[in-house]
Amino acid sequence: MAQKTDIRTLPGFRLATIGFFIYLYIPLLILVVFSFNATHSATVWDGFSLNWYAKAFDNSDIRRAAWNSLVVATFATIFATSFATMAALALARNHQIKHKPVFNGVLMLPLMVPEIVTAVATLTFFSVIGLSLGLGNIIIAHTVFCIPFAYLPIRARLHGMDKNMEIAAQDLYASKWATLRYVTLPLLTPGIISGAMLAFIISIDDFIITLMVAEAGSTTLPIYIYSLVRIGITPEVNAVSTILLCISIIFVTISYLVEKKR
């Protein structure tokens, strides 16, 4: 019988891992550090200051873009999580549905297809049907794109649940709706919360799809940051990016902790 090899013992693996994390996180660390720079330079350190954060919060364009991002992410999360929950329940609990792997594959397709392809396809579809709803276009696009992100934690939670609880409820003459309301959904809540948080952070951080489908007056925070970067990187850009980074870390951490807690 062949002996299993620990990948960590392979020559150069430790060095490659360290190099990967340095390449991935050092730029983020530099961005955060220079967001506190006292001068206008984004590359030369000249002392600690919170001035750029104050300017960012005082900028009406940034506040408007942040509000648009919050509105889009909130509605997209509600819709995407609702659809993902219904899909997960149908595929996990409805035994009359055939070809479940096919439906799972369709749900996971947005994760496989390059985002730029999804963005162009969505823009083409909106143009063909003449849809022009302002932020509504972005909400629809984000809802579809975020469904698989919300679906994965919910499906994982369903597969880890004890079906005997639902069977026991039905043995005690509970209807299907009563079982769903009082047994399945309460047990499924951690997965729903985790999926909703992932969908929210994916929506609020999305750039490519938003850039394609956004209309005039529908600027979100990632698009606004991109417009600032085109002019030149400043500590104000670093400050806004740092805030967005912190929000992402907080939501991903909470999502992980909620999903981990059984």
Contact present, 88 and 158 (Cβ < 8 Å)? yes
Residue 42 has a pLDDT of 66
Angle ∠(63,65,70) on CA atoms, nearest 5:
90
In whole numbers, what is the pLDDT of the chain averaged over residues?
83
- Please state whether the predicted TM-score (pTM) of the whole model is above 0.85: no
- At 19-75, the pLDDT tens digits run 888 888 888 888 888 888 877 776 777 788 888 888 888 888 888 888 999 999 999
Q: Which residues pair with 48 in a beta bridge?
A: 37
Per mean pLDDT, which range of 148-152, 160-164, 211-215 is the poorest? 160-164
CB proximity list for 55: less than 8 A, separation 6 or greater: 236, 239
Average pLDDT for 86-99: 80
Residue 78 has a pLDDT of 95
Residue 45 has a pLDDT of 78
Contact present, 42 and 235 (Cβ < 8 Å)? yes
Average pLDDT for 76-88: 93
Residue 57 has a pLDDT of 83
Question: Who has greater pLDDT, 147 or 111?
Answer: 147
Percent of the chain surpassing pLDDT 90: 16
Residue 76 has a pLDDT of 94
Buried b (16+ CB within 10 A) or exposed e, 156-172: ebbeebeeeebeebeee
Residue 1 has a pLDDT of 46
> What tokens does 185 get?
């959904």
Average pLDDT for 6-28: 81
Query: What domains can be seen in the chain, in order of their start residue?
Result: 55-260 (1.10.3720.10)
